[in-house]
């Protein structure tokens, strides 16, 4: 294997790279994209680490990031609030646990409410 070329303008101080371009590309794992009826997701309200603000956290998804963003957008619209996607979990602002469980069941997911 030939060493990768070193460019002075890129700021990369590597002299040799075994896998070529980006080191993370060789080690990325593929995400198994399962249909909704084969996924069990957990819905729980949490205030931990959020300065007292309640957030509904939905975890257990096995989707590609773009599909997860689309689903998060639909769930935020159903609740009329904001939210985000972090590490294959969806966070919706406020306590919407009951409503989100119903919506996810309608979409075909096996949704369970966890926590108090």
Boundaries of domain holding 53: 36-113
Query: Residue 61: helix, strand or coil by DSSP?
Result: coil
pLDDT at 25 over 90: no
> Does residue 102 lie within any of the structural domains?
yes
> What is the rounded CA–CA span in Å between residue 66 and residue 59?
16
* CATH code at position 46: 3.30.780.10
Q: What pLDDT is recorded for position 24?
A: 59
> Does residue 71 lie within any of the structural domains?
yes
pLDDT at 6 over 80: no
The CA-atom distances, in angstroms, between 85 and each of 53, 70, 112 are 17, 10, 19
> Does residue 3 lie within any of the structural domains?
no
Find the helix or strand (DSSP H, E) in which 93 lies: strand 89-93
> Does residue 22 lie within any of the structural domains?
no
> Does residue 20 lie within any of the structural domains?
no
User: Half-sphere exposure of 75 toward its Cβ, with a 13 Å CA cutoff?
Assistant: 32
Q: Provide the number of structural domains found in the chain.
A: 1
> Does residue 104 lie within any of the structural domains?
yes
> Does residue 48 lie within any of the structural domains?
yes
Q: Give residue 10's pLDDT band: very low, low, confident or very high (50, 70, 90).
A: low
Q: What is the pTM of this model?
A: 0.71
Q: How large is the C-alpha radius of gyration of the chain?
A: 20
């Amino acid at each position: 294997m030939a060493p990768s070329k070193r460019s002075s303008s890129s700021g990369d101080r590597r002299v040799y790279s075994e896998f070529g371009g980006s080191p993370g590309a060789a080690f990325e794992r593929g995400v198994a994209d399962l249909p909704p009826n084969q996924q069990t997701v957990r819905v729980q309200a949490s205030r931990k680490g959020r300065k007292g603000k309640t957030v509904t956290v939905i975890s257990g998804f096995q989707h590609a990031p773009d599909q997860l963003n689309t689903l998060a957008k639909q769930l935020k619209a159903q609740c009329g609030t904001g939210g985000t996607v972090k590490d294959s979990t969806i966070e919706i602002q406020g306590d919407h646990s009951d409503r989100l469980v119903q919506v996810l069941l309608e979409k075909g997911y096996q949704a369970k409410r966890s926590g108090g």
